[in-house]
Amino acid sequence: MSQLFHVEQFGSAEQSSYRGRLAPSPTGYLHIGHARTFFAAFERASTAHGTLVLRIEDLDPDRCRAIYAKAAIEDLHWLGISWQEGPDVGGSYAPYAQSPRHNIYRTAWQKLLDSGFLYPCRCSRKDLAAALSAPHETQDPLDDEPIYPGTCRTLHAADSWSSASANQKPPAANWRFRVPDGEAVEFDDGNLGRQRLIAGKDFGDFLVWRRDGVPSYQLACVADDAQMRITEVVRGADLLKSTARQILLNRALGFTNPAWFHCGLVTDREGRRLAKRHDALSIRTLRERGLTPAEVLSGEMPEMENGIITERKQ
């Protein structure tokens, strides 16, 4: 049996078998929100006397840049965060970047396909935009994927793929995971408490593989967390719906769920969620402006005017 599909039962977050992870995506410089979430992950791993893993999630070749991966490592070290496994220190589960791990993701895709969980989606971006524009104008701004209208749900794998093997690439199609409509996905969050999301209502059929040959965040994340024996996932509350999706993937692949801990989101002074487009609030910029790690992690937002920091704590 492939190592990918053998997952031992995990202990609690307080045991020394604790394994957490930092998983930055090098599509831009890390910002204050990343700093506080990653520091929370570091503190939880340290408190548990566990292992912290750094994994660079560089799946998208069009958006990821080596300069941002290098900057992430530098900025995390500047914040005082350290890890025991990662691309710069090695470890038993290398490689610690996703771009060289496609064979693991293809194996997971194949298992989902063989088990009947996937179907090919032929919708173009234009088709999806037209189908989603009116009913989803009020789409939850914290969600990372609109609810798919089900246009291709009646298609079967045989419509695009008749015989596959683990060493072959998925055919050029968007492959979606068919969610069990109406099923409640429930989990206990270590920070936010009991969570309950309804498949088909709060989230729909989601992508696991893109037609350009890139696996989705959802598939790569669960495959890597399982293979790296991650016992707790610490991340932002904007990924709560992704957790529900990943619970379904874990069940389909035979993986054991890790524990979950979702941190509150950091917003700017206008209440908008931070994104990498907020360059003025990137860790790199704040370092250059003279802020200390303690100030970046303090919870207070710098004073800004027209996107420029105007003053700082003394």
Where exactly are the structural domains of the chain? Answer: 3-311
| Phi, then psi, of 49 in degrees rounded to 5 | 55, 40
Single out the residue of 174, 141, 136 nearest to residue 155, CA to CA: 174
* d(C-alpha 297, C-alpha 262), whole Å: 17
pLDDT for residue 314: 45
For the domain covering 3-311, report its CATH number.
3.40.50.620
The Cα 167–Cα 297 span in angstroms is 45
120: β partners: 175
Q: Which two tokens stand for residue 8?
A: 């031992």
Give me the pLDDT at residue 1, please: 29
For 167, the 3-state DSSP assignment is coil
Residue 295, pLDDT score? 93
d(C-alpha 132, C-alpha 134), whole Å: 6
pLDDT value, residue 41: 98
Sign of CA dihedral 72, 22, 55, 218: negative
pLDDT in tens, the chain (314 residues): 233 333 333 434 444 699 999 999 999 999 999 999 999 999 999 999 999 999 999 998 989 999 999 999 999 999 999 999 999 999 999 999 999 999 999 999 999 999 999 999 988 776 555 444 333 333 444 456 788 989 999 887 655 554 444 456 677 789 999 999 999 999 999 999 999 999 999 999 999 999 888 999 999 999 999 999 999 999 999 999 999 999 999 999 999 999 999 999 887 666 666 655 556 689 999 999 999 999 999 866 665 544 444 455 44
Q: Give the per-residue pLDDT at 265.
A: 86
Close Cβ partners of 298 (under 8 Å, ≥ 6 residues apart): 313
| Confidence at residue 298, expressed as pLDDT on a 0 to 100 scale | 87
Q: Could you give the CA distance from residue 109 to residue 308 in angstroms, rounded to a whole number?
A: 45
CA nearest to 208, candidates 159, 174, 253: 174
Q: Which tokens hold the place of 229?
A: 């024996």
pLDDT at 207: 92
Residue 189 phi, psi dihedral angles, 5° rounding: -95, 135
164-171 contacts: CB < 8 A, separation 24 or more? 164/110, 164/113, 164/114, 165/110, 166/103, 166/106, 166/107, 166/110, 167/103, 167/106, 168/106, 169/106, 169/213, 170/106, 170/109, 170/113, 170/209, 170/213, 171/120
